[in-house]
Structure 1
Amino acid sequence: MMSDLETGMFDVVLVYRLDRLTRSVLDLYKLLAQFDQFDVKFKSATEIYDTTTATGRLFITLVAALAQWERENLAERVKMGMLKKANLGEWLGGTTPFGYEQENGKFLIIDDEAKIVKMIFQMARTKGMDSIARQLNQMGYRTRKGSEWAGYTVQYIAKNPIYIGKFRFNDERHQLRKPLSEQQLFDTDIENIINEKEFWDLQAILEKRSENKGRGMTGGYYFTSLLRCGKCGSPMQGTVYKFKNPVRSVKYYRCSHKTKGRTCPMPNIQEDRLSDEFLRNFPKLVTGWIKTNSIKESSSEEANADFSKELKNVQRQMEKYKMMFINDLIDIEELNGKMHLLRDREKALKESMNSESASSKESWSVDELESLIEKFPQIWAMSTDEERKVLLSEIFTEIIIDADEKAKVSPGNPKPFWIESAK
């Protein structure tokens, strides 16, 4: 309409009521100014306005202000109502999530769909969302509507807290872009499809993958996202060379600094050679953690016990205030005020406990480390590329390699390299 207005296609804008055009005073002023600029009149079928006089403009502004107030007031009431329902663990409406059906207000698990949800959570640890969608389609699985899977559909499931019995409700739309752990989640009595630890482990993986641009965490190169160049500190990226005689493909790792048009003396390292060197050095890389972790072990257990005790106390208080609200002992504003403070404390405690758990890469128990050193070669030999990627990411956060770039190269005698350090 505004484009046609500028070309002089019509002389009058006619609305049934002013609030059918806009409920924003600022927008109204802008529209009326544009109407005047192009000599277009404004009329309402059910209201009388004379925008050519100061009184008429005042009147129309007052009507628009009331419409804006009504809209904002309604939005606040709806938001308060939604927050109340969320606090009580009630369904906020919308399409029933994949994996469930509703019967008399109760969520029931659909076994066939739940099976697909579990597959998605399992595959998402090592595969990208588009890759999972392709695999589901190749296996003949379809969405509830019978259409093919897409990456964004898979991602919605992988990040949906409904599968651990929680609703998500955010006051503002931009909060949806935050990590799930920073959004408002509310407990419900819906039966879990996914184990809570498995769910949050995946969220941590997806968050890390997002920070690392994704591809290094899901590609077919199991050292990417961990491997760093000992010359310049840049990440090492996986690549493949295809040889014609004999026909074969060989995986290599190269410094990402070179792929950006810059120079780095680090040579390309063949994946098979890197794996052999890694296995030879694995006991030495891990043994150094044993002494450190024997000291950390007892203090970590004590800290987690304290956190767990306080968390249970906070959750009991939350249930108490919910019951007080249900029994009309407190109003919705007091409930929200109390729940806001308790939820912040609950979130802080969970983050502290997750932080203790996440530090397991640096604080494995002494027994676990000794067992790992003994059994790792057999585990590595039996694992696929994807399983090796997961295994490495569970143990290490960084592996630094270096090489002798001045060494002479001859057929069957590539440049020597070594593992500098690992975290």
Structure 2
Amino acid sequence: MANTKITDGSMALNDRQVRVITIEATRQPEEIKLRVAAYARVSSSSEDQLNSFAAQNQYYTELISGNNNWHMVDIYADEGITGTSALIRADFQRMLADCRRGKIDRILVKSLSRFARNTKECLESIRELKGLGVSVYFEKESIDTAKMTGEMLTAIYASFAQSESESISGNMRWSYQKRMQSGQFITCKAPFGYRLENGTLKIEDSEAVVVQMIYDEFLSGKNTMEIADLLTESGIPTQTGKPCWQATAVGYILQNEKYIGDARLQKKYSTETFPVQRKINYGERQQYYVTATHPAIIDRAIYEKVQALYQTRAAEIRNKPKHHFNFTKKIVCADCGTYFQRKISGTNPYWVCRKHSKNSKDCAMMPIPETEIEQAFIRLYCNLKWQGKSILQQMIQNLQTIRNRRMLWSEDVIELNKQISDLSSQNQMLTMLKKQGLIDPDIFIAQTNELTEQLREVKLKKERLMDAEGDNTISQTKELLDILESGPDFLESFSAELFGELIESVIVDSNEKLRFRLKNGLELPEEIERTVR
């Protein structure tokens, strides 16, 4: 202990004199080597690519072994793997697992495009690795995630890697387009009545009979809903094995040209940007019609009759005058959540749950005469006019109190404030990178615009949150008070105008009680008084 430096000191603690001796360290710990790994990937198994792959392995082995401060853990490599997701790369996942086990301190990668194919995946992996204390160095872009500005630059350059994948996806779309133009591409999925075998549609006899029945029933006068109900009642399963048929599925079969042996291509298309989405082609893309591509189930003459009848019925529905009644889409069944519809019995209108009207076993809610609903509203209005103002005024005071508390203590608002602060900090960091010349001006503008838009959205979200819990309901309640103040003292008959201004919806709890939901969300019950006939 001859080389140990001792410092003597003392202090008072609880009326006792405590002596403290500090023994300073004289030996420094041995320098710990950094555990370094490398990740390499090529896009195909062609001979040239494999040579490049072998060269990457040799390069990283020599690089890591040649650094006295580094200890090589492993060379992780995926051969012949392509795509936009890291989930299918076995060695990439093995590398992440070793990082989670604490075996790696640093990872070397040739470029971002070798590490990830989209920005989201890249940042998720890097953030996890940073949380594990593992840094990643991208040689081509000179990005080191161990540095403070690393993640920001990663987001910028990862967008280029994503562009590479978008280019690959564009090549795939081009390939499909050319095959469609030549008539070689027919379909990726067989419709009901067919099976797909080696890229060719083959008739499935058991389903083909059902398709023919659908066409016959439609020509006999049934509509799509009636045919769907018939199929369900007959116990015929859908293509996915479900017992219930929908009218839309029947309509699709009736209008599908594949049942006459033809194929209209590119009914749907894939978007050109990530994430890729499938959308219905309403004319945004070219379509191709190819005849006699596979065996037909329906005779062409029958198919054309069905198309003509389908168009005639659709035109009749479009041209049919639409009557809007005071309670249309206003009355809701409390039991099943279905809207009520208006019907006439003799000369007396009444409102009935749509599900009950279709099948009384599905919903037990009984019909209600229209006059009884109108009389219930008249009574509700009078109660609000003479007794409800104090309730609404108290509601406004309570909402204002709640809003003030939310502004100070709400976790949602605090989180949004944090997001606003973080986005502002990122914007400042981006400006600093621009001043240091570390970022291209075009990329700087694009990233600044994106951050500005995100900041605007978060601020709007905060504003909407505050309005949803306070100001919006308060203003609606004030409007209700104004309507009641200016309204008549009594209603001698039903007023459609006042009903529309005051009421959001009417919930039918039973045949004896309604709930009127006001425009501000407040619900008030009202008994139904049966009219003596």
Same fold, judged at TM 0.5 (above): no
Structure whose residues are more often helix by fraction: 1
TM-score (norm 2): 0.31
Bigger Rg over Cα? 2
Greater share of strand residues, 1 or 2?
Answer: 2
Structure having greater relative contact order (Cα 8 Å, sep ≥ 6): 1
